[in-house]
Amino acid sequence: MGTIDNDISGTDYTIGFDTATNTVKEAIDKIRDTASSHNRLFFIEVMGPDSGFIALNTRIGAGAEEKLIPEDKRRIDR
């Protein structure tokens, strides 16, 4: 069984979660090149409306500057 939400108990990671994070990391690598060459800031939204597992793990792997996840109660206007 695969799920991108990583919500199956008894496992560290699910197959869908691993695929989703790898796909996001590849996309971020491509977007980073464009952002750097054009001196721009990009916001990247990923799946996971109720949990920030994908956003948090890809942030670490891709070296993002900041993250916004549902579990973090800070607001975007801060």
Active site residues: 5
- CA dist., res. 57 & res. 55, Å (int): 6
Contact, 41 vs 35, CB < 8 A? Answer: yes
- CA dist., res. 43 & res. 32, Å (int): 11
Helix and strand totals (H; E) in the chain: 2, 0
